[in-house]
A = this chain, B = another copy of it.
């Protein structure tokens, strides 16, 4: 169905003919791999530069449908040798580039060049972490990196973990282990083999009302249902209220329900709020629940001497999520899942005859298969290891602090502006605010509209979210500062640009 682009006859090539003659089928590996990569990488660098120059800003101007039509046109052109240049230029042109100071919406970091280069090595060699004989060095490297990250969290030597696709997968893993362990102990049955027992008490997961939606997503996948998640009220700082958690746990116990897990968030997506980790840990322990700490964002604080105290208590968690593609400047994906005690991984252990036969393990061939929900798995640990060794924790900590400083400066600029309203002081590197139109009833529409106007004009990518609760007046704009090279002056200009667009949007009927 996909048309042949080369027009040649469909006869099978004689595989004895050396196919290296055709650069389009050259491989990235082997002794000739580097030489084969060189010309195509040159094409990519040229295209990246051309596309970025053509874009000339944080994102391409225009409506989504216009850009989509351009992509469709590019894909429908005849292919061949220039496809790499043409499509890469288009991808670069059509990116929301987190390296642009005016692209500051999401936990979507601009990667470090050194991390991207390391990731190229991974693509070229293509190790897969599901068996040693697909990834000899990468297997050891991941294990050692995870030991290092476990120490960073404050975990003991018996910790274990795995690289993941991100916080959503890590949260799923934490809740899977929680379900299998807590429900298994409560019912005396193996959940992973027999499924959720019909006579089990109703399972509940406790998470703050502003926890990431992946908690509900995981509950749905695990067969517990989204309704199993008890949304615990938050305080003024959008942190889980420890008293409210205690009450929710007690009420569940009173109803004969099973507290499977408490999910504490260390750095919510919108405001960076950090739940009271020691109190959450004490309550989880008291009720026999697993404590999972979603530190996908706030885990970056561990790199900074200034911010690390904010996540004290994280070492009490049974499992944690960390995302190095957020405050870690890695290209996606660079998720990390850690458990405090390797033994709690039991329900995920798997034996596959073709991947980790028992006699191989006895002969000293390690297997990471049972540590992951995936089978084929890219060596995402490598870029993190290279980055850590290049910059050190202190070097990365300075980047974290720089972004924190930018958030503080941005919040100051919002506070100083007569038409902007700050939601709260930044905790990490993000903050919420809004433009206040003369008619406050129009605030939601004006803020949502001004953000789309910024996108359409290709001027800026700012975030937009809603405060928890019901009813109007909850729409807020968001800046997420993840570019350590941005200056406070640029953040201030971005904020003034937002206010200008707010004024223009407000003029609309």
Q: Is A332 positioned at the interface, with any CB of B under 8 Å from its CB?
A: yes
A394 near B6: Cβ-Cβ < 8 Å: yes
Complex copy number for this chain: 2
| B residues near A192, Cβ cutoff 8 Å | 220, 225-226
| B residues near A52, Cβ cutoff 8 Å | 29-31, 33-34
A99 to chain B, nearest CB (A): 3
| B residues near A353, Cβ cutoff 8 Å | 465-466
Q: Is A93 positioned at the interface, with any CB of B under 8 Å from its CB?
A: yes
Given contacts A44-B120, A112-B27, A399-B25, contact A193 B226 (CB under 8 A): yes
Nearest neighbor of A405 in chain B, beta-carbon distance: B15
| B residues near A486, Cβ cutoff 8 Å | 15
CB 8 Å contact bits of A334-374 with B (1 = contact, 0 = none): 01000000000001001011100101100111100000011
Complexed CA–CA distance, A158 and B457 (Å): 33
Complexed CA–CA distance, A447 and B20 (Å): 34
Complexed CA–CA distance, A484 and B24 (Å): 13
Q: Is A239 positioned at the interface, with any CB of B under 8 Å from its CB?
A: no
Interface size for A (C-beta < 8 A) is 207
Q: Is A208 positioned at the interface, with any CB of B under 8 Å from its CB?
A: no
Given contacts A24-B390, A45-B38, A376-B165, contact A136 B94 (CB under 8 A): yes
Nearest neighbor of A2 in chain B, beta-carbon distance: B393
Q: Is A191 positioned at the interface, with any CB of B under 8 Å from its CB?
A: yes
CB 8 Å contact bits of A253-281 with B (1 = contact, 0 = none): 00000000000000001100000000000
A197 to chain B, nearest CB (A): 9
| B residues near A41, Cβ cutoff 8 Å | 41, 45, 117, 120
Q: Is A434 positioned at the interface, with any CB of B under 8 Å from its CB?
A: no
A361 to chain B, nearest CB (A): 10
CB 8 Å contact bits of A62-77 with B (1 = contact, 0 = none): 0111011011100100
Complexed CA–CA distance, A94 and B137 (Å): 5
B331 near A124: Cβ-Cβ < 8 Å: yes
Q: Which of B217, B227, B357, B379 contacts A373 (CB under 8 A)?
A: B217
Nearest neighbor of A60 in chain B, beta-carbon distance: B136
Stretch from A84-92, A416-424, A498-506 at the B interface: A84-92
Q: Is A133 positioned at the interface, with any CB of B under 8 Å from its CB?
A: yes
B79 near A364: Cβ-Cβ < 8 Å: no
A345 to chain B, nearest CB (A): 13
CB 8 Å contact bits of A6-26 with B (1 = contact, 0 = none): 101010110110111001111
| B residues near A323, Cβ cutoff 8 Å | 376
Complexed CA–CA distance, A208 and B126 (Å): 30
A23, A44, A107, A452 interface centre (most CB from chain B within 10 Å): A44
Q: Is A244 positioned at the interface, with any CB of B under 8 Å from its CB?
A: no
A8 to chain B, nearest CB (A): 7
A79 near B389: Cβ-Cβ < 8 Å: yes
A437 to chain B, nearest CB (A): 16
CB 8 Å contact bits of A210-222 with B (1 = contact, 0 = none): 0011100101111
Complexed CA–CA distance, A111 and B40 (Å): 13
A386 near B5: Cβ-Cβ < 8 Å: no
| B residues near A116, Cβ cutoff 8 Å | 28, 37, 40, 120, 123-124
| B residues near A88, Cβ cutoff 8 Å | 118, 121, 386
B126 near A108: Cβ-Cβ < 8 Å: yes
A109, A115, A140, A478 interface centre (most CB from chain B within 10 Å): A140
Complexed CA–CA distance, A111 and B123 (Å): 8
Complexed CA–CA distance, A222 and B227 (Å): 16
B114 near A24: Cβ-Cβ < 8 Å: yes
A34 near B15: Cβ-Cβ < 8 Å: no
Nearest neighbor of A326 in chain B, beta-carbon distance: B376
Complexed CA–CA distance, A213 and B97 (Å): 40
Q: Which of B25, B128, B347 contacts A332 (CB under 8 A)?
A: B128
Complexed CA–CA distance, A3 and B303 (Å): 11
B93 near A4: Cβ-Cβ < 8 Å: no
Q: Which of B111, B139, B165, B195 contacts A377 (CB under 8 A)?
A: B165
| B residues near A143, Cβ cutoff 8 Å | 68
A-B pairs, top 8 by smallest CB distance, nearest first, are A223-B223, A94-B137, A29-B99, A195-B225, A4-B394, A83-B389, A79-B389, A30-B99
A-B contact pairs, 9 of them (CB 8 A): A26-B114, A29-B97, A40-B113, A44-B120, A63-B364, A83-B386, A98-B126, A195-B219, A333-B377
Additional pairs, 16, CB under 8 Å, beyond known A67-B136, A75-B389:
A4-B393, A5-B390, A5-B391, A33-B99, A47-B121, A48-B125, A64-B364, A84-B117, A91-B137, A95-B138, A96-B127, A96-B136, A105-B133, A106-B133, A169-B374, A193-B220
